């Protein structure tokens, strides 16, 4: 199963290098470790590129694991029959 996590709104802040280190709710593993595990197991994390730019974030501070992506990526997956879960 292919899984894409597409971050929007405040979620795009997780695209900043080091931001995931600030989110840790015990007893859950740190968010940075969860993202690493997700990627290592074939997950595809992405953040809305236009929201990233709108918030004035700079590409040089980008976390490499969370790539910027346009809504067209999400639309293409949906057009091919993907199921969505929104949290």
Joined together, the tokens standing for residue 9 give: 């709104």
Looking at residue 29, its pLDDT comes to 87
User: Domain-by-domain residue ranges, the chain?
Assistant: 4-79
Non-local CB neighbours of 57 within 8 Å, separated by 6+ positions: 12, 13, 15, 16
Mean predicted lDDT score pLDDT of the chain: 81
**Tens-digit pLDDT profile for residues 48-68:** 878 777 877 766 666 666 677
* pLDDT confidence band for 25 (50 / 70 / 90): confident
| Tokens 């007893």 belong to residue | 27
Q: Please spell the DSSP secondary structure of 6-48, one letter per residue.
A: EE-GGGGGGGBTTGGGG---TTSPPHHHHHHHHHHTT-EEEEE
* pLDDT confidence band for 80 (50 / 70 / 90): very high
Q: Which is nearest to 74 in space by CA: 40, 38, 50?
A: 50
Confirm whether pTM is higher than 0.95.
Answer: no
Provide CATH code, domain 4-79.
Answer: 3.40.1260.10
């Amino acid at each position: 199963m292919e899984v894409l996590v597409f971050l929007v709104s405040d979620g795009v802040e997780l695209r900043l290098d080091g931001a995931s280190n600030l989110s840790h709710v015990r007893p859950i593993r740190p968010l940075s470790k969860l993202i690493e595990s997700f990627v290592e197991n074939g997950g595809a994390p992405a953040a809305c590129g236009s929201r990233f730019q709108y918030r004035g974030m700079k590409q040089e501070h980008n976390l490499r694991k969370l790539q910027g992506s346009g809504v067209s990526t999400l639309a293409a997956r949906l057009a091919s029959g993907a199921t969505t879960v929104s949290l």
